[in-house]
Each structure stands twice: as C-alpha cells, then as structure tokens.
Structure 1
Amino acid sequence: MADINWEEPFCAEGNNCFRVGTDLEGNAYIAVAGQEDTPLTDSREALRSLILEIKAGKADHLL
C-alpha cells in the first residue's frame, strides 16, 4: 500500500468518523476512521469534486 498522509478524523454527529489522505503520487483516499487499511482510492481532483458536491447539498438525500 502507498505511503498515505492521513488527516485528522472528521466526525459528524454520532459516531460517523472519516479520514481523508493523500500520497505523493497524486492519489486521494477516504476511509472510515479505524479502517484505513481499506480506503476508497481516486485522484485528488475526484476527491475534491466529491467534497464540493457534498458541501453543495447534492448528497443530502442519502442521509
């Protein structure tokens, strides 16, 4: 597995904690806190787009 630089966990209301990380090759990772050994992997741009869409409320129907 790549050498991932993980950010501090982000925890929403309740116990939903996620971590975002990046590596030196331009990949981005998102994982449930404590399960960093099985992250979703994509480009930094894809992760950026995902976060912007979530902030814009386009995933509210999933909650």
Structure 2
Amino acid sequence: MPTIHWDEAFCGEGANCFRIGTDDADNAYIAVLGQEDTPLTDTREALRNLILDIKAGKADHLL
C-alpha cells in the first residue's frame, strides 16, 4: 500500500468520524477513523465531486 498522508478526522453527530487522505500519486482515500488500513480509494477529482455532491444534498436519501 502506498504511503497515505491523512488529514485530521472529521466527526459528525454521534461520533461518525472519517478521514481523508492523499498519496504522492494523486490518489484520494477516505476511511472510517480507526480503519485507515482498509480505505476506499479513487482519484482526487472523484473524491472532490463526491464531497461537493454530499454538500449539495444529493446523498440525503442515503442517510
């Protein structure tokens, strides 16, 4: 696994915490806090679009 540079954890209500990270090959990672050894990975652009869509309310039906 590449070296991932993790950001500080983001925690929502009820302690739902996750972390976002990147590697030197411009890949992006997202993982549940404490489970960084099994992250979801994609390009930075895909992760950026996911976050923008969530902020725009496009994933509210999943909650």
Judge same fold: TM > 0.5, yes or no.
Answer: yes
Q: Percent identity?
A: 76
Gaps of 5+ in 1: none
Using structure 2 for the length normalisation, give the TM-score.
Answer: 0.97
The whole-number CA distance in structure 1 between the counterparts of 2:53 and 2:20 is 16
Using structure 1 for the length normalisation, give the TM-score.
Answer: 0.97
Partner of 1:11: 11
Q: Greater helix share, 1 or 2?
A: 2
Partner of 1:56: 56
Aligned Cα RMSD in Å?
A: 0.5
The whole-number CA distance in structure 1 between the counterparts of 2:12 and 2:60 is 14
Deviations 1:3-44, CA, capped at 9 Å, x for gaps: 100000000000210000000101000000000000000000
Partner of 2:45: 45
